[in-house]
Amino acid sequence: GDSVTQMEGPVTLSEEAFLTINCTYTATGYPSLFWYVQYPGEGLQLLLKATKADDKGSNKGFEATYRKETTSFHLEKGSVQVSDSAVYFCALTPFSGGYNKLIFGAGTRLAVHP
Amino acid sequence: GAGVSQTPSNKVTEKGKYVELRCDPISGHTALYWYRQSLGQGPEFLIYFQGTGAADDSGLPNDRFFAVRPEGSVSTLKIQRTERGDSAVYLCASSLTPYGQGADGNTIYFGEGSWLTVV
């Protein structure tokens, strides 16, 4: 079945460092891909999305490119801030049609210190 | 309301007891989803409602779990004879329609979750 694998955390960075969180997926066809973020004490929020190969999703300085050839959707940010500390989830909705059934990775905790 | 509301935010119950978790979706959203998130894991799908009907309940782990949405708005997740392994965060989400998550304007919105601890 469809699945998502993302790098284990925690990831600990200094402020202004470059961030990469790896995400790969297994799916048939062309799923839609997403990054969700969960800040402390808050619900899951959609961070960015990409619906077809080579699409780049971006939001709040974060970017991720849908790579069909490597089945990847790595999250990047050029300069992280303390306020980016959160848990990040990579997810997909299958191509098979039907409704939006999200399949999540296990999550990666990011801690940014001053 | 402005967002997806879930109550209670925290629930501690004894093994074997019955529990109800409530979800109030965003007004006008026809699609409603329940997910379960265990410690250190990503959310796992439980059930999806389109309107009043459960269109997909394939994620419910066993027959102790049941969910309803009688008027197509508020939903209740019911857990009978709770077990310690049921301890998790139960997340509710809603969207305007169930299709086209990739399309602009049809985002799935999540509540903050109900933390269930079975002792």
List, for residues A46-83, the tens digit of each pLDDT value: 999 998 899 999 999 999 999 999 999 999 999 999 99
In this complex, is the C-beta atom of A99 within 8 Å of any C-beta atom belonging to chain B?
yes
In this complex, is the C-beta atom of A25 within 8 Å of any C-beta atom belonging to chain B?
no
Which residues on chain A are in Cβ contact (under 8 Å) with B108? Answer: 46, 100, 102
Average per-residue pLDDT for chain A:
92
| pLDDT > 90? residue A96 | no
- Select from B49, B57, B58, B101 the residue whose CB has the most chain A CBs within 10 Å, as the one to mutate to test that interface: B101
Extended beta strands in chain A, E state: 3-6, 11-14, 19-21, 23-26, 32-38, 45-50, 56-59, 62-65, 75-77, 86-93, 103-104, 108-113
User: Binning pLDDT at 50, 70 and 90, where does residue A37 land?
Assistant: very high
Among all residues of chain B, which has the CA nearest to that of A90? B42
Is the pLDDT higher at A30 or at B77?
B77
Which of helix, strand or coil describes residue A84? helix
Closest CA to A112 of A81, A76, A75: A81
- In this complex, how many residue pairs, one in chain A and one in chain B, have their CB atoms less than 8 Å apart? 69
Which residues on chain A are in Cβ contact (under 8 Å) with B91? Answer: 43-44
Which residues on chain A are in Cβ contact (under 8 Å) with B43? Answer: 44, 89, 102, 104
Among all residues of chain A, which has the CA nearest to that of B95? A100
Average per-residue pLDDT for chain B:
91
Which residues on chain B are in Cβ contact (under 8 Å) with A42? Answer: 112
Residue A64: the pLDDT is: 98
- State what percent of residues in chain A have pLDDT above 90: 76
Which residues on chain A are in Cβ contact (under 8 Å) with B44? Answer: 104
Closest CA to B53 of B32, B27, B35: B32
Host H or E run for residue B23? strand B19-24
